Structure 1
């Protein structure tokens, strides 16, 4: 595939009558954007193995007065898939270019899982663009090594995703793998309707090259940067609320501590009896966090 080639999914969108949809040309690709509501804009960044629909439960509970901007990351969902552009810096440039295309100078930021990892990168690169940051189920850029090392085994599943040939084959041809991860990573698997599991399994299969590239770029670039302590030279100036699941099997609560010396205003809060998918497991608490955290930052 030539670097400029853009492939856009023709799969039907999940039904949500409250959402409006459009596509915007951004940095050599076409990003799909789902929007909810009007008012104060919030950029909502999804994680793996999901897309814009990851926010539909939260969107139903967020109070009036907010405009939720829920893009599919490059290569995910209904955004264009390209041969390159899946490292965090490139995805951050996509997000900033999307805000420019929408004519938005400053917004609130919400991210989950990989979207939360990307959110931290955005706040460090362009803090002037964000009024505040709500991060869900993700460690910050300054994890303590003594907390990381005992939990590395929890990332076992990445070995089936990150390698170019194996990862794409697993993601494309083994939908049971995606279903297993979604069920395994929540405190109560019953929170997943069968239709949602089917949707995300199909979406992951269709987006296999992008998903694998995202994980591989993390191995090539982000892990070495963490080992070198690259982000210790940077300070988080965007007010941030970090929510974690008390029973998160991927990002354990111990990984959320230790950022205080590198942040001006960072609060960490655990959600009891919740796992790794707070937008699915605790949409009401996420919506309430949106209200309490961003109401004073309009």
Structure 2
């Protein structure tokens, strides 16, 4: 395990957070750690276009009870940006390899946005590795087809991000689009601090990060959308206890996408928080922390 961090950008400071690098399948991934070393381990996976700092408000609320592991997904934050490996399956492979490298047999899993979608794949593929899944602002793999078709237009912006060779240029040279998506995702009463907004939009200016953002979205188009459309997930049963949290003002992941009736799952629940948008760790960290305690306390 190599503790030397890349220095292309300074790390945001957050008291009580330690940083190191974990090598997983030859890819160097940045890990931000906080909390109690002897506490129940929780792995936290961020969404787009964020990184570990997305959990800045949640970490202090849980640090006294849990061992908190915030992993930067490949190409984001301070993790390496490999040339390939950005499908959901690829991300799941790297996360499992990172857990092996850390010597962690079983953890609780918290994911937001793309991190939550990765979390579903992890829970389906390796249920024995996870005590539970808290999925924030992301549909589960079994949404009602009518709800999926009725809300598909809300993902219009992905057309600007996903096409090979084009998406990376948009992400790198049009940071105002990322800023717009971040601002659009939260209600007016939960604005982003200017320095935090600048941090997430600046991250995309790195060539590797821009390519990673493009390939992450394109991987979903070519792999996961066909699976959803053809009902391929119906053949996979979710046995990990899972709680989905959404916001009734989320402009992308609408409450209709969170309905759990008929999903092939042993324990899958969904809750919609009033007055909330797409970034619950930023808007309602207290409620995210409370949900984590309910799901992961021994």
> TM-score with structure 2 length normalisation?
0.95
> In structure 1, what is the Cα distance between the partners aligned to 2:221 and 2:175?
23
How far off is 1:63 after superposition? 5.4
**Paired residues for 1:113-262 under 5 Å:** 113-188=113-188, 190-206=190-206, 207-262=209-264
> In structure 2, what is the Cα distance between the partners aligned to 1:80 and 1:62?
28
Q: List per-residue Cα deviations over 1:88-120 (Å, max 9, x = no partner).
A: 111001000111111000000000000000000
How far off is 1:43 after superposition? 0.5
> TM-score with structure 1 length normalisation?
0.95
1:264 aligned partner: 266
Does residue 60 of structure 1 match 2:60?
A: yes
Decide whether the 8 Å contact of 2:142 with 2:263 is kept in 1.
Answer: no
> In structure 2, what is the Cα distance between the partners aligned to 1:126 and 1:187?
36
Decide whether the 8 Å contact of 1:183 with 1:189 is kept in 2.
Answer: no
Distance 1:182 1:22, change over 3 A: same
Higher helix share: 1
> In structure 2, what is the Cα distance between the partners aligned to 1:160 and 1:189?
28
Which consecutive residues of structure 2, in runs of 5 or more, have no partner in the other structure? none
> In structure 1, what is the Cα distance between the partners aligned to 2:138 and 2:54?
16
How far off is 1:275 after superposition? 0.3
Q: Count residues with an aligned counterpart.
A: 290
Q: Which runs of 4+ in 1 moved over 2 A?
A: 188-191, 258-261
3-state SS of paired residue (1:242): strand
Which consecutive residues of structure 1, in runs of 5 or more, have no partner in the other structure? 1-6
How far off is 1:8 after superposition? 5.2
> In structure 1, what is the Cα distance between the partners aligned to 2:132 and 2:22?
25
Distance 1:205 1:96, change over 3 A: same
Q: List per-residue Cα deviations over 1:121-142 (Å, max 9, x = no partner).
A: 0000000000011000000001
**Paired residues for 1:29-44 under 5 Å:** 29-38=27-36, 39-44=39-44
How far off is 1:189 after superposition? 6.2
Is 117-126 or 220-229 further displaced after alignment?
Answer: 220-229
Distance 1:216 1:259, change over 3 A: farther
Decide whether the 8 Å contact of 1:260 with 1:266 is kept in 2.
Answer: no
3-state SS of paired residue (1:261): coil
Distance 1:12 1:225, change over 3 A: same
1:74 aligned partner: 74
